[in-house]
Structure 1
Amino acid sequence: MKPGRGKMSGGFGGPGGKRPLGFGGPRGMRGAVGGAKPKNASATINRLLAYIGRDKIKILFVFACVLGSSLASLAGSYILRPVINNLVYSDGTAKEKINNLVIGILTMACIYLAGVVCSYLQQRIMIGVSQNALIRIREELFRKIQKLPLKYHDTHTHGDIMSRFTNDLDAVGEMLNNTMSQIFSGIITLVGTVALMFFTNWILAIIIIVTVPLMVYVGGMIGKQSRKYFIGQQQALGAVNGYIEETVTGQKVIKVFCHEETVVEEFEFLSDNLREKQRKAQFFGSIMAPVMGNLSQISYALSATIGGVLCLTLNFDIGGLAIFTNYSRHFARPISELSMQMNTIYAALAGAERVFEVMDETPEKGDSPDAIEICSEANRVEGAQPIKGEVVLKNVTFGYVPGKTVLKNINVTAKPGQKIAFVGSTGAGKTTVTNLINRFYEIEEGEILIDGINIKNIKKDSLRSNIAIVLQDTHLFSGTVRENIRYGRLDATDEEVVAAAKVACAHSFIERLPQGYDTVLDGDGANLSQGERQLLNIARAAISKAPILILDEATSSVDTRTEKYIERGMDRLMKNRTTFVIAHRLSTVRNADLIIVLEHGEIIEQGTHEELLGMGGRYYQLYTGAVELD
């Protein structure tokens, strides 16, 4: 009775041609469909700045380059004033005016060239800084994913998690690459422009400054709406990615049950939701620039008109008017540039919030300070306590959800080398027992002991390295066959890899592969059959020297002929190991030392195969086919 993984949950139940009534889809999807309220932007920005701040020296150099570039732009514009005044008011000869014009142009060229160099260095260094910050965030996020409990992965779709690594971090990178330096440049340009405007003509400066509150108010109103929709856009994008990942990996199931049209309808629903969120986000993000541009044009027209009047009435020089109108554009430019970056900023903040949500998740409970290490007697480790493999469950009670009990007062004793089998209906709690032995979940009541040691007092890494597991769902990594088998124990030799493959009856089919053990597997072993993939999983467990073995429907994916080979290999594999077997095929557990029948989280029968048949109870009914394993 594992918690739902959000796989097609409720997705196929809708009436034909309509959006499914109980539409659930991936679990991470529901919040995205409904939208979300804006969160704390300032806290998100501070966290991003903390990652950038680790390159303090480079940041200071970037700021120096931004300062140089901004000052060069302002100074270059100011050179126009003496150049124009020289042409208009000077009594010199034409040759002198031309010489002064050439000198002014060359001076401006040198200043602007210095600004170009500063801009180049600023951009080049800032990209390096932003990429360093991104790799820190990405690595910290990946490390956090490894520390999260299994419950988190059970309740979040893979596609939504991957979207945080890709789409959300890409949005953050786009902002760090360009927007941060542009904000600083805009502030310097704004302050410098205001200072030069007052120096040039304080009357016109006051007129321009008066328009600022209007621009700030309008920009704030648009920005508030824009940010809300960008958060919804990133969440909706994660939901779409999650659904795509589900349907692509489950394509065979979809085709088997002829649900192609249904999943298309569900995808269209999610896609329409994403489109609506993107439409609103892009609309409010894109109208910022033209609105601010038009407001700046108003201030430009006012400065030009009133400046012309001042030239006629108060002897304001034409050169001053020319540079002032230019500065009025400078004054509006940083605001306009920032407004044009609002799309990037809000998308990045929304993406960063989603990334930090994962980072802020409660990690898997750590080891107690006095936790010890254990090892098998066959693979002794210095400082670790050797164990034989006795496993005892005492009065274990557990539920995935508070208030909903899955296991009730379970008592099991497995002696070293014994084979314990769990049978029962689907959802009876068989897999839950093995999850608790591995401490994938913490029990609510009772205790689990290994050689008399409470597993809560054993370091988790040490505990799990001494338990080999073969799951019902196979998973192979990209790499060679040899590397996938060696994943069970990384220090295993090539000879041990081959020996493990022989134990699992996998050696013969591996030898027939194009490159044998060096054959590269791609796409979770897509070039192998389901049975062959399972054999490699069994070989991976065989290479481990763990004294405890868990087989969760290990032979469910192989044919009857292959199953017989595996059973012989399993007998060798289970020798001197405490083994827990979960099986629906009761024929595979007949030789178990103890068979435990679970129903609704409780042990209702236990004994050997012959003893249980003699009872004529639930096991007898299951074995003889009087009732089915539902």
Structure 2
Amino acid sequence: MADEKKKINQRDTLKKVFRYLGKYRIFVVFSLLLAAVSVALTLYVPKLTGRAVDCIVGAGAVDFPGVFRVMVQIGVCTLVTALAQWLMNVCNNKMTYQVVQDIRNEAFRKIEILPLKYIDGHPYGDVVSRVIADVDQFADGLLMGFTQLFTGVATIVGTFGFMLSVNVTITFVVVLITPVSFLVANFIAKRTFAMFRTQSEVRGEQTGLIDEMIGNQKVVQAFGKGRDVTKKFDEINGRLGKAYLRATFFSSITNPATRFVNSLVYTGVGITGAFAVVNGSLSVGQLSSFLSYANQYTKPFNEISGVVTEFQNAVACAQRIFELIEEEPQPPEPENAEELKDIAGNVKAEHVDFSYEPEQKLIRDFNLEVKPGQKIAIVGPTGCGKTTLINLLMRFYDVNEGRISVEGLDIRDVTRRSLRAGYGMVLQDTWLKTGTIRENIMMGRPDASEEEVIAAAKASHIHSFIRRLPQGYDTQITEDGGGLSQGQKQLLCIARVMLCRPPMLILDEATSSIDTRTEIRIQEAFSRLMEGRTTFIVAHRLSTIREADVILVMKDGQIIEQGNHESLLKKGGFYRHLYESQFVQTAGART
């Protein structure tokens, strides 16, 4: 049953590969024609060589003009063959790398529309390995297939025809033995596919670990986990080594096994041909041609067996990349999806249920109504659903039940782009892209003027620091911020929002990495920015949300208390307990 399923998967994968190849069928046709020309001329040369041998009758009886004519013909055939092979390789390379480009483009486009659930549930390194390493392996196998498979098959067919024209009996001997090569190659190929598949999966696991460790090297070193990580890497590397060894060992058996069969063919031709020469039914020149044909006839079986093995690896890699391409994308926007315009800040959540996993309930029967310009603070213990609520507001995840609306429109009925353009986000986890400081600030508004960029930087109190950098706003930084501190990276993200000035704001621990003095200034800038704007503030430090119009206290995915700072303290409930425990801890720390 498992073998049958594997065969179906391989067939489906091959169909998908041929579908990509369909766009470049003109190159396939040219490659086939050029392969036929190359093979025909290559196979014609042994026949010419046989004629040259027959021109040498004996000592003093050599037909030199005949030999010369044959040599000229061989030279012309060789030159035309070389040109045909060069053009064939050009066609094969063009075709292969166009297909690879199309697959990578489609994979990258799919990544952009995949639901965050997929990205959150798969190691980044494994996704990178599929798009980079697996596609490269697929390209190598595909290129080898087109370069050697076409010429190999054409050589076998062409040689068979030439041998029949020389001697039918000896051709029958050759054809009788060669099927053994197919049986050997087929036997090994069936067993190598699963090994190459395992090899690709373990390689993706290794890439994931490397990506994770490089991105979190400071944490690894800070907690002294270097040895543990090294052990884990060694374990994965060991499994990868075994997978490589098994796949390479089994695939390497193919060539010597088929060569053994080919030697039997050559021996059979030599013995049968020798008797034919003695009987006078075959000339010496024809025997030499036949031996050359026998060698050329069996040689493609070695190449094809190697191609089959490599192709198993290519198909295994293609299967992984197609799995990514065929992943279910995020739900498409309805055809009549509206653009959110003139956003005042009316947000409403009605009977919202949501959970990342069906068996683990998170947000249940959540209700909220926000009026324009209100500051909504969301507090509660870790895991209560604060950040999840932000994900739902931005529609990074869709609700399981209920609805969330902005300006009276269900957010599932508006375009994601217009919805997200209505929010400005500053998160605890900063995100920068490789580029200049200016490009990072202008991410939300590429058309902003220099004066507007500087004004946003001044508002976020990062301008003076940027001026001290070697190239100022043109200083290049990497995605991890390079030499910038966590606070400076967060200020850059704040400047990005200051420049966009969206109608609604989401601040998720937006000043968690900033010193107290700068935080006071940033809070003042935020206060000016929040005037007239609906703002959602996720905070652990309750001192930062005293001025909020409404404080939502969440626990186990539900709002258990709601009100402003003073009213919640008077209630003496969960909020007061949180506030006093924080205040006592702070006071204790000061003493």
Q: 1:519-534 maps to which residues of 2 (within 5 A)?
A: 519-534=475-490
**Among 38, 41, 56, which residue is 1:87 paired with?**
56
Q: What amino acid does structure 2 have at the position aligned with 1:433?
A: L
Residue in 2 aligned with 1:275?
241
Please state whether the residue corresponding to 2:348 is helix, strand or coil. strand
Q: For residues 506-562 of structure 1, what are the alpha-carbon distances to aligned partners after superposition, in whole Å with 9 as ceiling and x for unaligned?
A: 222222222221111124211211100011111112222421111112112222222
Please state whether the residue corresponding to 1:287 is helix, strand or coil. helix
> Does the 8 A contact of 1:38 with 1:227 survive in 2?
no
Query: Does residue 586 of the first structure (1) align with residue 542 of the second (2)?
Result: yes
Q: 1:93-132 maps to which residues of 2 (within 5 A)?
A: 94=61, 96-132=62-98
Range moving further from structure 2, 478-487 or 544-553: 544-553
Residue in 2 aligned with 1:295?
261
Range moving further from structure 2, 315-324 or 47-56: 47-56
Q: What amino acid does structure 1 have at the position aligned with 2:134?
A: D
> Does the 8 A contact of 1:123 with 1:178 survive in 2?
no
Q: What amino acid does structure 2 have at the position aligned with 1:442?
A: D
Q: Distance in 1 between matches of 2:313 and 2:452?
A: 51
Range moving further from structure 2, 232-241 or 485-494: 485-494
**Change beyond 3 A, Cα 1:536–1:311:** same
1:239 is displaced (CA, Å) by 0.6
Residue in 2 aligned with 1:179?
145
1:601 is displaced (CA, Å) by 0.7
Residue in 1 aligned with 2:412?
456
- The alignment covers a number of residue pairs equal to 581
Q: Distance in 2 between matches of 1:331 and 1:152?
A: 50
Residue in 1 aligned with 2:158?
192
Query: Does residue 501 of the first structure (1) align with residue 457 of the second (2)?
Result: yes
**Among 526, 540, 546, which residue is 2:496 paired with?**
540
Normalized per residue, the structure richer in helix is: 2
Q: What amino acid does structure 1 have at the position aligned with 2:422?
A: N
1:457 is displaced (CA, Å) by 1.1
Query: Does residue 368 of the first structure (1) align with residue 324 of the second (2)?
Result: no
Query: Does residue 74 of the first structure (1) align with residue 43 of the second (2)?
Result: yes
Range moving further from structure 2, 599-608 or 318-327: 318-327
Please state whether the residue corresponding to 2:122 is helix, strand or coil. coil
Q: Distance in 2 between matches of 1:37 and 1:614?
A: 67
Q: For residues 442-477 of structure 1, what are the alpha-carbon distances to aligned partners after superposition, in whole Å with 9 as ceiling and x for unaligned?
A: 111111111111111111111111111112111111
1:338 is displaced (CA, Å) by 1.7
Residue in 1 aligned with 2:324?
358
Q: Distance in 2 between matches of 1:439 and 1:628?
A: 38
Query: Does residue 143 of the first structure (1) align with residue 109 of the second (2)?
Result: yes
1:297 is displaced (CA, Å) by 0.6
> Does the 8 A contact of 1:621 with 1:627 survive in 2?
no
Query: Does residue 428 of the first structure (1) align with residue 384 of the second (2)?
Result: yes
> Does the 8 A contact of 2:45 with 2:74 survive in 1?
yes
Please state whether the residue corresponding to 1:573 is helix, strand or coil. helix
Specify every segment of 5 or more residues in structure 2 that has no aligned partner in the other structure, as ranges.
Answer: 586-591
Please state whether the residue corresponding to 2:364 is helix, strand or coil. strand
Cα RMSD over matched residues?
Answer: 1.9
Q: Distance in 2 between matches of 1:50 and 1:572?
A: 57
Q: Distance in 2 between matches of 1:266 and 1:58?
A: 46
Range moving further from structure 2, 129-138 or 437-446: 129-138
1:340 is displaced (CA, Å) by 2.4
Please state whether the residue corresponding to 1:440 is helix, strand or coil. coil
Q: What amino acid does structure 2 have at the position aligned with 1:305?
A: I
Residue in 2 aligned with 1:47?
16
**Among 223, 230, 233, which residue is 1:257 paired with?**
223
Please state whether the residue corresponding to 1:73 is helix, strand or coil. helix
1:628 is displaced (CA, Å) by 10
**Among 215, 226, 232, which residue is 1:266 paired with?**
232
Q: Distance in 1 between matches of 2:173 and 2:479?
A: 66
Q: 1:201-600 maps to which residues of 2 (within 5 A)?
A: 201-313=167-279, 315-375=281-341, 386-600=342-556
Specify every segment of 5 or more residues in structure 1 that has no aligned partner in the other structure, as ranges.
Answer: 1-35, 376-385
Q: Distance in 1 between matches of 2:479 and 2:522?
A: 25
TM-score, scaled relative to structure 2: 0.95
**Change beyond 3 A, Cα 1:43–1:576:** same
TM-score, scaled relative to structure 1: 0.89
> Does the 8 A contact of 1:236 with 1:273 survive in 2?
yes
1:118 is displaced (CA, Å) by 0.6
Q: For residues 396-431 of structure 1, what are the alpha-carbon distances to aligned partners after superposition, in whole Å with 9 as ceiling and x for unaligned?
A: 110111232210111111111111111111110001
Q: Distance in 2 between matches of 1:626 and 1:540?
A: 31
**Among 580, 587, 591, which residue is 1:624 paired with?**
580
**Change beyond 3 A, Cα 1:627–1:215:** farther
**Change beyond 3 A, Cα 1:627–1:503:** closer
Q: Distance in 2 between matches of 1:38 and 1:506?
A: 60
Range moving further from structure 2, 202-211 or 173-182: 173-182
Q: What amino acid does structure 2 have at the position aligned with 1:587?
A: S
Q: Distance in 2 between matches of 1:311 and 1:293?
A: 26
